[in-house]
Copies of this chain bind each other. A is one copy, B any other.
Amino acid sequence: MRLLFLGDVVGRAGRNVVLEQLPRLRRDWALDFVVVNGENAAGGFGITEAIYEEFLEAGADAVTLGNHAFDQREALVFIERAPRLIRPANFPPGTPGRGAALVEAANGAQVLVVNMMGRVFMDPLDDPFASIDRELDAAPLGLVADATIVDFHAETTSEKQAFGHWCDGRASLVVGTHTHVPTADHRILPGGTAYMTDVGMCGCYDGVIGMDKEEPLRRFTRKIGSTRFEPVAGPGTLSGLAMETDGAGRAIAVAPVRIGGSLSEALPSFW
């Protein structure tokens, strides 16, 4: 299968580049399944139902979230009728929505999509290592799931790499999100899981993690904020990861994707 994962979409700049590029990529690359992390899609904070629908129409099969999942309060409600919207699995029991879902691809394949949050330098949720074991056991790769995509939303490289090794052989892809900067360490781990520490953001890279740089600089230097954070208006970069799986759901190729904006372009050579 041909899979595409797009990192945290930040504000209008991010939405624009996704809506412009994704339909074309889906067609040109004959993609079977696309996941978009949408935790920052609505003005940098959370997601609305309208934006979720836009992503699906543009070619996304599933939308994942993170620590900003419910910044837009409406998400607590519409997530119940949005089966392809996945919030972190290790939120407390009783949280609206779901942390994992078997989503049917256009070709009929069953794809397990899991969203999980790290705990180092983040809010202390339930143990992501124990939680991912439960999710992966419930729909084993190659038996129940034709492909398994894990979005690990975490801060530190150490927790992310440890999580990748922990899942190796049990997922098609473990990809990090949250830092809003793509890493250059995409690779296939020994057990057949594609891995990348962070897939970066879809948004404008001329600010500070997608936000206009004035307010962050003010807070760093004066320690007193002035206004709220606003996404920077400017040309967006699409940042993601492309991969291909074999019949058993193992990764056979992985490559970064960067299109537009101020980062160097990257495209898969294998398609």
Contact = CB atoms under 8 A, between A and B. Distances in A.
A107 interface: no
Interface stretch (A13-21, A34-42, A154-162): A154-162
Q: How large is the interface on A (under 10, 10 to 19, 20 to 34, 35 or more residues)?
A: 35 or more
Number of copies of this chain that the complex holds: 4
A248 interface: no
A90 to B, nearest CB: 9
B263 A184 contact: yes
A201 to B, nearest CB: 10
A185 B129 CA distance: 29
A182 interface: yes
A25 interface: no
A124 interface: yes
B125 A158 contact: no
Interface stretch (A55-63, A136-144, A145-153, A216-224): A216-224
A166 to B, nearest CB: 6
Contacts of A198: 181, 183
Nearest to A120: B124
A258 B92 CA distance: 39
A93 B220 contact: no
Given A158-B216, A181-B197, A130 B186 contact: no
A94 B129 CA distance: 14
A259 to B, nearest CB: 13
Contact of A181 (B126, B129, B162, B183): B183
B187 A263 contact: yes
Contact of A213 (B91, B92, B165, B209): B165
Contacts of A155: 121, 155-156
A125 B262 CA distance: 32
Contacts of A165: 208, 213, 217
Given A76-B224, A186-B264, A157 B181 contact: yes
A222 to B, nearest CB: 6
Nearest to A197: B181
A77 interface: no
Contacts of A205: 185, 187
A84 interface: no
Given A121-B121, A125-B223, A126-B126, 5 more contacts: A91-B223, A126-B127, A161-B181, A165-B217, A184-B200
17 contacts: A92-B222, A121-B121, A123-B223, A124-B124, A125-B127, A125-B223, A129-B220, A155-B156, A157-B180, A162-B216, A163-B220, A165-B208, A166-B217, A182-B183, A183-B183, A184-B184, A185-B200
